[in-house]
Amino acid sequence: MFGDRYHKSGPPRTKAVRIMRIALGFAGTALIIWALSSLPYDTFREERIRALGEHSTRGVVFSKRTEPDSDGPLYLITYRYSDMEGIEHVGMANLPRDRWQRLNKGDRIKVFFARANPALSRAQFMIEPAFQIKLRQWIRGD
């Protein structure tokens, strides 16, 4: 009998089994650490702040440009907007090509900014990762 009636255990494990269990433990731990480090924490943080509510306002486009990217060019605009206290903020948005072409410097666009952090904004029709859109819908219960 192995152990007593209060501390039952199985037969002693062989050295190969112990080594395999330790190796699997390290591999499992490394996999969990890798998965956690791959999470987009900035996106989670932004959506958590936005979940507290957003205000909408009008912003003014003051620059347009394209930047090369591995998936094709990014069509970027930079805009200014004022929060509820009248403080001016600057934001940047990646837009679809057709929307970008229709905008000119000085045009007004709809901007959404977070109540808890007015510097955190997004422009209407801004291209966002699908994960971020799904996360926003999940947080808001849409």
CATH at 78? 2.40.50.140
The model's confidence at residue 106, banded by pLDDT at 50, 70 and 90, is: very high
- Given a contact cutoff of 8 angstroms between Cβ atoms, the answer to whether 128 and 40 are in contact is no
Give 109's pLDDT tier (boundaries 50, 70, 90): very high
Give the chain's domain count. 1
13 located within any domain: no
On whether residue 83 sits in a domain, the answer given is yes
Of the candidates 4, 2, 27, 20, the residue with the CA atom closest to the CA atom of residue 12: 2
d(CA 113, CA 57): 8
Domain of 112 in residue numbering reads as: 44-140
| 65: in domain | yes
* pLDDT tens sequence across 29-62: 999 999 888 877 777 777 777 777 888 899 999 9
Per the domain annotation, does 7 fall within a domain? no
Is the pTM here over 0.95, yes or no? no
At residue 2, the pLDDT reads 57
31 found inside a domain: no
For 99, residues 6+ apart whose C-beta sits below 8 A from its C-beta are 75, 125
Residue 6 lies in a domain: no
Q: Is residue 36 part of a domain?
A: no
